[in-house]
Structure 1
């Protein structure tokens, strides 16, 4: 974090300027055996493409609300930073009926159909794969995002005092989110180069902080684990050692 970081998108820009090659998100799915590692530069590229999809193809504007019906996943992290880049409000587990846009995983498609606006579906398959058959009424993220631009510029400046995130009944502005992420990173003892392993879901602030925002604010990285309960303690210890984990939250 730098003194001028006032939104989550600012945190990512600072990380990109500081050390684009370092790992930022390492993702494991212990139900499928998937492992994906994204450097700051690669993650920022996904964020830029997703933000361009949001702003361009989906016509999202600052203040719009995006219901995010996704688990803790590297693509969810990219959507959170893309929302922050555009200036829309990311609502984790939000009501699709009250949202302008809904972003759904494969297990929440029926609930997502309650959105009368744009609907985006993510297959959450290894390597960002597409649906074998696109869900009716949804844009397949994996089909649409690759052609988006690698650079993103918002049509209007993002207001750090405007709402940016809603989770578990609490709403945060971009500035509040950054300040809280910094505070949590300090409470967790994170510094530049720290590797935090998180097995928490994204349905709470604690899960979002440990699984994305706090490591980003500290200049560290996250080892984000989905279905961690399927891993034995011995296998977890091996992962902690192999990934050079410095802190664990689960």
Structure 2
């Protein structure tokens, strides 16, 4: 990756310029049997659309706080990179009452209603499906995002030295997120072309790094597994082989 990259959004742009067709995030939900594989180009397109939704329709800008009440999921990874693209602070599991925008999965809607600002709900259904009925007081992400533009340009420059992520109560600048991702990749032996399988939650740095940032920092890819405990005997070993996994974190 480009040594000058200082935000996660920078890392994604470098990945897109380098090899847009390679896999970036492969997602499994072992409770439903869902498998989704997103190339760098497809993932970047979702990020651009989501960033346009965040900046345009939701009127979020640098310094604003977005509470992400979401599990480890490919759409959560998209939102993390969209927040980086706009320059807003992604507060993972943060207090909705203290946020300008809340983004909620289907299991945290009641908690998310404490946000007095904009509210977005994700059904987290296979293929990015929408809710059968939009939750009251929320915009349905799956309804709103398809019509957004495929290219994103921030209204204001993103400062890598400003807060970009809060996880586990720890606030990190965007530059610190990139530096930590690179350091973790080095510690784990992750290099360009590596495949990290992660069954870790996104509610702590280790899960975010294994499930997104470490691979993104060095040109690797992620096999992100939700409900990994649902796999039967021998299932994990088969997945490691099928997905050509080089590092396993669980």
Shorter-normalised TM range:
over 0.9
Alignment-derived partner of residue 145 in structure 1: 145
Distance in 2 between residues matched to 1:233 and 1:53, nearest whole Å: 42
Alignment-derived partner of residue 229 in structure 2: 229
Alignment-derived partner of residue 75 in structure 1: 75
- Please, what TM-score do these two structures have when normalized by structure 1? 0.99
CA RMSD of aligned residues (A): 0.5
Q: What are the residue-to-residue correspondences of 1:1-250 with 2, within 5 Å?
A: 1-250=1-250
Give the C-alpha shift of residue 4 in structure 1. Answer: 1.4
Distance in 1 between residues matched to 2:235 and 2:183, nearest whole Å: 31
SS in 1 for 2:185: helix
Distance in 2 between residues matched to 1:24 and 1:249, nearest whole Å: 17
Deviations 1:197-226 (A, max 9, x none): 000010000000000000101101000000
Deviations 1:167-201 (A, max 9, x none): 00111001011001000011110011000000001
Give the C-alpha shift of residue 232 in structure 1. Answer: 2.4
- Please, what TM-score do these two structures have when normalized by structure 2? 0.99
Distance in 2 between residues matched to 1:105 and 1:13, nearest whole Å: 27
Distance in 2 between residues matched to 1:120 and 1:31, nearest whole Å: 24
What number of residue pairs does the alignment pair up?
A: 250
Give the C-alpha shift of residue 2 in structure 1. Answer: 1.1
Distance in 1 between residues matched to 2:226 and 2:114, nearest whole Å: 27
Runs of 4+ in 1 over 3 A off after TM superposition: none
Which residues of structure 2 form unaligned runs of 5+? none
Distance in 1 between residues matched to 2:19 and 2:3, nearest whole Å: 17
Distance in 2 between residues matched to 1:122 and 1:128, nearest whole Å: 8
Which residues of structure 1 form unaligned runs of 5+? none
Deviations 1:71-119 (A, max 9, x none): 0000000000000000000000000000000000000000000000000
